[in-house]
A = this chain, B = another copy of it.
Amino acid sequence: MVDVDAAPATEETALGFADALVRLTHLVQRVFADVSRAHDLTSQQAQLLCVLTRGPAGMTELTRLLHLEKSSLTGLVDRVERRGLVARRRSSHDRRACQVALTGKGTRLAHDTHDGITAQLESLAGELPRTDRELVTSAVVRLLGDSGATTGS
């Protein structure tokens, strides 16, 4: 209300690549959180369920996939397990380890949430010509390729 709103018109127009990425990230993050919440999940819980969609995984493996410390993951898994969305199964050939797997309920919720996020993002991008969407996608894929973020080891 003071003179705070008067000046900034310089940086607004010339948005750099990095700043664009950061803003895009905040937008996607918000969509992710909103849709998750609509399904009564936090972003982190939704992300865990989505990862498990590819199949059961051990704690250590999940730790790498989600970039979390062991103990953080223990709590995260505890909370979704308490709600019956995943189950810990003791591994048979290594009795220290366990595999975390989606339950039926968890599987449904994971897919619903994923679909909701996808729909929301597609609708946000509705204005973008298909060519642009494909170009952005392929650019992102190349970007991800560099940092070895392709889920597997």
Contacts and interface: CB of A to CB of B under 8 A. Distances in A.
Interface of A: 1-5, 7-8, 11-12, 15-30, 32, 47, 54-58, 67, 99, 117-118, 121-122, 124-128, 132-137, 139-144, 146-147, 149-152
Contact of A136 (B20, B32, B146, B147): B20
Nearest to A50: B22
State the number of copies, please.
Answer: 2
Contact of A67 (B8, B30, B135): B30
| Interface majority SS (helix, strand, loop, mixed), chain A | helix
A121 B17 contact: yes
Contact of A55 (B7, B27, B55, B67): B7
Most-contacted residue by chain B among A21, A139, A147, A150 (CB, 10 A): A21
A21 B147 contact: no
Contacts of A142: 127-128, 132
Given A133-B17, A143-B125, A25 B24 contact: yes
Given A117-B18, A122-B18, A139 B132 contact: yes
B124 A147 contact: yes
Nearest to A115: B18
B22 A143 contact: no
